A and B are shown apart, each in its own frame.
Chain A
Amino acid sequence: MAAGVATWLPFARAAAVGWLPLAKKTMPKPPVDNSSRSDEILYVNVSGVRFQTWKNTLDRYPDTLLGSSEKEFFFNEETQEYFFDRDPEMFRHILNFYRTGKLHYPRYECIQAFDEELAFYGIVPEIIGDCCMEEYRDRKKENQERLAEDSEANEGTDAPLPPDSTSRERLWRAFENPHTSTMALVFYYVTGFFIAVSVIANVVETVPCRPPKGSVKDLPCGEKYQLAFFCMDTACVLIFTFEYLMRLFAAPSRCKFMRSVMSVIDVVAIMPYYIGLVMPENEDVSGAFVTLRVFRVFRIFKFSRHSQGLRILGYTLKSCASELGFLLFSLTMAIIIFATVMFYAEKGTKGSTFTSIPASFWYTIVTMTTLGYGDMVPNTIAGKIFGSICSLSGVLVIALPVPVIVSNFSRIYHQNQRADKMRAQQKVRLARIRMAKKGTTNAFLQYKEDRGLGLLRESDSSGFLRKRRKHSDRDSDSTALCVKNRSAFEHQHHHLLHCLEKTTNHEFTDEGTYSELCMTDSVGFRTSRSTSLSSQQGAQNNSTGCCPRRARRRAAIRLANSTVSVSRGSVQELDTLHLKTTSIPAQTRSSLNAQGVNLKLNCGEQDFSAAIISIPTPPANTPDESLPPSPVPIPGILRNTRATTFTHETVKISSL
């Protein structure tokens, strides 16, 4: 029952007195109402804006936050009011819901923000009043579609392939996204070229060439240079066949691929050639064969893989199927009506071209589309009148569905533009995020420097740190500021990371330090490497810089006792591991961990076995945080098994 009706209940109950004389039995006892009679005003403070309302108003909907005892959690004893740290603008609508029983959706608000507020206050969106329900639903659907599109665009296609994809997957990717590798791009252009060549050849084949000597009649070029055209056709078809077979092989789901439109077009484009080869040179059949050659023109549709505009057009037509259907249906109706009318109007005339109703169809179509060839013309007055009505109505009928199709096309086109723009902006966005994260990394390292902590300091065997300090002194002013402005949160955060370092006996470091370590080590030391707190890109860059990248992870697997190249290889391994495991969400809130420390040796993905290299060190800085339980005892084991002549062991973890 609506809330407002509740206010009338006492009245209805009072009116029950009218039944008493008729009742033969005593009335049942009424329920005891323990609640206080008097209504009180409640104060609700939403981010400083004070709202006041009757308690009864809020009690109307007991299954919401404000109507239930849940609001007591927000009660502020000192000020004797309910305080909510939420948006006061939105709260206005929420409170109006209690007052009027109808929830309205403000058009200028973001749909997600509104939904969140509703969720917070425990109100189900379904009760939005009819006046605003449509708007709400439309915007919600639009938002969901947009998010789905964005996530699709993100996930997909431009991300680098996981390293262990099969050749089949790589091939498929190359086909779908030609710009991912050079080979794919080359192939893309080659097929495009051959499609063009094939289409042009088909066209030129029919152009009349100069007849060969001795003949008078003009021959189409196709017959004159039959062999040349045949060769060209063969080459094209071979390429198309090859392409189709490769796609078929690479497709993740062959059945789905075979049913897709593009594959059907491919088949239709190459079938006539094969059929022509197979069929004998028979007079009867060759007529049909000639018809088949018509299908060669479908090769032009293969261009839709190359042109996005064509795809958009096709998609638009598909999505406007109902409008097109309506157009076709109404046209058909009109054609039949007018053809009949014209036929009977012109029936009497001698020599009339309107020989039958189907013959009049041609006239009607030509007139309604305002072509007006003039091959069929009405002669009677009635015929002329109906003819003019026909042409006028033709314009109208055709003009009606066109705006719908146009608006659909515009919407789809803009969606596409938006997707492209987003992809372009994605790179800028990622770069900005990376910079922010680097900032926090540097903050932590600065913190350590300032506190005189860190292994790098304690055992600086290569004078390395001195060099580093020189760099950092230059921007000491800025760092001094950083020290002062560090908030309590940052202090606690850094302390936490520090604890982790102590636990694992390894240190965090940054790109620069890591790369420099890398350089110094590669000079002569057999040292272990470790990836550092760098961004994904950074690691790649570093590894290309100091540790040349090997293409395949498998090739880089080495066993423990080997040379620097091993360490390099293992490092790359670690790097590639780190690349692979970026998809795993960071375990801690620390942004430091989010990207760089991707030695997330989550054993779920691969089998690890620890290979231990006993190498004297400058201390390695392996941030191996989210270590799964198994490798964790390894440092302990190491400590037990070997004499700690050096301060820290290095743990190398490689996969076998």
Chain B
Amino acid sequence: MGAVVGTLTMQTKQRRPSRDKTEDELEMTTVCHRPEGLDQLEAQTNFTKQELQILYRGFKNECPSGVVNEETFKHIYAQFFPHGGRFYFLCNFLLNDLFVNRLIAVVADASTYAHYLFNAFDTTNNGSIKFKDFVMGLSTLLRGTLREKLEWTFHLYDINRDGYINREEMTEIVRAIYDMMGKYTYPAIKGDVPQQHVDAFFQKMDKNKDGVVTLEEFVVACQEDETMMRSMQLFENVM
């Protein structure tokens, strides 16, 4: 008898998802973007045709529909910065003087930073990255001029796109970066290390001490920073 009652209840449940399913199916089939022609992209970016081909093949392989939405992006980025679980890797990141070349266990959360990164790439602000956005961003980062790179970084930090970086935005970014490090770090993150980091940053960048950093201040301050200039050059050959 229990079985009878069970089958009766199962039937009522089945009817509801069917309505949603057709809608979902419609949605899925319409989303399929194609990039502009190879020639146009070549003109707009600093990549050669072959490089664009290689890039597109990898992109299309991962995202056959032609777009990356935020969830997928977070998932992909999180694979580089493992999310949950213990994971050892040699950490060469330098966010603090004491962090050089230590072996640390990472329980990391990369999703916040990935969110900001996604927004930085998604120049059209429609919640998805198409190949054009992807390749333009990469072109700036890898082949762009120093000024372009710094502008890109400024836009990354400027979360609300108002042209100014204030303390709150900077704090969020720094916290997101520290989150990627995870809970188990050596030495442990004690106190409010991110806050201290933000203070140090503002001290360096904010020349007129008005509590916000404008693009010009940012560019000038970075160009004065010797260590940063040296590091910039190291990223030339990523592709």
Say yes or no: B59 contacts A7, CB within 8 Å. Answer: yes
State whether A396 touches B4 (Cβ < 8 A): yes
User: Smallest Cβ distance from B133 to chain A, in angstroms?
Assistant: 12
Stretch at the interface among A15-23, A76-84, A221-229: A15-23
Give chain A residues whose Cβ lies under 8 Å from the Cβ of B232: 17, 20
CB of B231 within 8 A of CB of A393, answer no
A38 contacts partner chain B, Cβ-Cβ < 8 Å: yes
Knowing A334-B1, A389-B1, the reply to whether A8 touches B231 (Cβ < 8 A) is: no
Contact B234 A5 (CB under 8 A): no
B222 touches A21 (CB 8 A): yes
Which residue of B is nearest A16, CB measured? B235
Which B residues lie within 8 Å of A22 (CB)? 95, 173-174, 177, 197, 201
Q: Assess whether A4 is in contact with B153, with CB atoms less than 8 Å apart.
A: no
Q: Which of A15, A26, A393 contacts B117 (CB 8 A)?
A: A15
- Say yes or no: is B100 at the interface (Cβ < 8 Å to chain A): yes
Whether A4 contacts B227 by the Cβ 8 Å rule is no
Interchain nearest-CB distance for B238 vs A (Å): 5
B126 contacts chain A at the CB level, 8 A cutoff: no
Q: Is B228 an interface residue (CB 8 A)?
A: yes
B180-207 interface (Cβ within 8 A of A): 197, 200-201, 205
B33-46 contact mask (Cβ, 8 Å, vs A): 1 or 0: 00000000000000
Chain A nearest CB from B69 CB (Å) reads 15
B161 sits at the interface (CB 8 A)? no
Chain B nearest Cβ from A302, distance in angstroms: 40
Q: List the B side residues contacting A29 at CB < 8 Å.
A: 234
CB contact list, B133-150 vs A, under 8 A: 134, 137-138, 141-142, 149
Q: How far is the CB of B108 from chain A (nearest CB, A)?
A: 13
Residues of B within 8 A of A389 (CB): 1
Query: 1/0 contact trace for B75-108 toward A, CB 8 Å?
Result: 0110110000000000011111100100000000
User: Nearest A residue to B96 by beta-carbon distance?
Assistant: A24
* A8 and B62 contact, CB distance less than 8 A: yes
Q: Which of A26, A39, A330 has the most CB of B within 10 A?
A: A26
Complex: A4 Cα to B93 Cα, angstroms? 24
Q: Tell me how far the C-beta of A15 lies from the nearest C-beta in chain B, rounded to whole angstroms.
A: 6
The majority secondary structure among interface residues of chain A is: helix
Residue of chain B at shortest CB distance from A27: B231
Q: How many A-B residue pairs have CB under 8 A?
A: 119
Least Cβ–Cβ distance between B24 and chain A, in angstroms: 20
Flag if B61 contacts A397 (CB, 8 Å).
Answer: no
Given A7-B58, A10-B239, are A20 and B231 also a contact pair (CB < 8 Å)? yes
A13-56 interface bits toward B, Cβ cutoff 8 Å, 1 = contact, 0 = none: 11111111111111111100100001100000000000000101
A523 in contact (CB, < 8 A): no
Of all chain B residues, the one with the shortest Cβ separation from A33 is B237
Are A25 and B94 interface neighbours, CB within 8 A? Answer: yes
- B164 proximal to A (CB < 8 A): no
Check: A11 CB closer than 8 A to any chain B CB: yes
Contacts of B201 in A (CB 8 A): 21-22
Give the shortest distance, in Å, between A403 (CB) and chain B (any CB).
14
With a cutoff of 8 Å between Cβ atoms, the chain B residues found around residue A38 in the complex are: 50
**Chain B residue contacts of A26, Cβ below 8 A:** 94, 227, 230-231, 234
Q: How far is the CB of B104 from chain A (nearest CB, A)?
A: 16
The A-contacting residues of B in range 213-231, CB under 8 angstroms, are 218, 222, 225, 227-228, 230-231
Shortest A511–chain B CB gap in Å is 66
Min Cβ gap A394→B in Å is 9
CB-CB under 8 A from A430, the residues of chain B are none
Question: For the complex, would chain B's binding face be called helix, strand, loop or mixed by DSSP majority?
Answer: helix
B227 in contact with A30 (CB, 8 Å): no
For residue A183, CB closer than 8 A to chain B, the reply is no
B3 in the interface (beta carbon within 8 A): yes
In contact, A400 and B3 (Cβ under 8 angstroms): yes
Instruction: Tell me, rounded to whole Å, the shortest Cβ–Cβ distance linking A519 to chain B.
Output: 79
Chain B: interface size category = 35 or more
* A30→B80 contact, CB < 8 A: no
Q: Which of B77, B94, B138 has the most CB of A within 10 A?
A: B94
With A13-B238, A17-B235 as given contacts, are A25 and B61 in contact (CB-CB < 8 Å)? no
* Complex alpha-carbon distance, A25 and B94, angstroms: 6
Complex-state Cα separation, A392 to B141, whole angstroms: 74
Query: Can you list, as one digit per residue, whether each of B100-139 has a CB less than 8 Å from chain A (1) or not (0)?
Result: 1000000000000000010010000000000000100110
Q: How far is the CB of B161 from chain A (nearest CB, A)?
A: 15
Q: A18-B156, A21-B201 in contact; A10/B1 too (CB < 8 A)? A: no
On chain A, the residues within 8 Å of B59 by CB distance are: 7
Task: State how many angstroms separate the Cβ of B18 from the closest Cβ of chain A.
Answer: 23
* B177 touching A19, Cβ below 8 Å: yes
Q: Which residues of A contact B227 (CB under 8 A)?
A: 23-26
* A11→B138 contact, CB < 8 A: yes
B10 at the interface (CB under 8 A from A): no
Query: Are B197 and A21 in contact (CB-based, < 8 A)?
Result: no
Partner of A1, one of B79, B96, B142, B156: B79
Q: Give the contacting residue for B94; candidates A23, A99, A330; CB below 8 A.
A: A23
- Cβ of B115 to closest chain A Cβ, rounded Å: 13
CB distance from A154 to the nearest CB of B (A): 46
Most-contacted residue by chain B among A10, A21, A22, A392 (CB, 10 A)? A21
Whole-angstrom CA separation of A21 from B57 in the bound complex: 32
Q: Are A15 and B141 in contact (CB under 8 A)?
A: yes
Does B237 lie within 8 Å of A30, measured CB to CB? yes
Which residues on A sit within 8 Å (CB–CB) of B197?
A: 22
Q: Do B79 and A23 touch (CB < 8 A)? A: no
Q: Out of B3, B76, B235, which one reaches A14, CB within 8 Å?
A: B235
> Closest chain A residue to B138 by CB distance?
A14
Chain A residues closer than 8 Å to B205, beta-carbon distance: 21
The smallest beta-carbon distance between A324 and chain B, in angstroms, is 17
- Nearest-neighbour CB distance to chain B for A328, whole angstroms, equals 15
Measured CB to CB, the nearest residue on chain A to B227 is A26
In this assembly, does B54 line the interface, its C-beta being within 8 Å of a C-beta of chain A?
yes
- List, in ascending order, chain A residues with CB within 8 A of B57's CB: 54
* 9 nearest A-B pairs in the assembled complex, by CB-CB distance: A7-B58, A393-B1, A27-B231, A14-B141, A25-B94, A13-B238, A18-B156, A5-B79, A26-B227
CB pairs A–B below 8 angstroms (8 shown): A20-B231, A21-B201, A22-B201, A25-B227, A26-B230, A38-B50, A396-B4, A400-B3
With A16-B235, A330-B2, A396-B3 given, can you name 13 additional A-B contacts, CB distance below 8 Å?
A: A7-B58, A7-B61, A11-B134, A14-B238, A24-B200, A25-B100, A26-B234, A27-B231, A27-B234, A28-B234, A30-B238, A38-B50, A389-B1
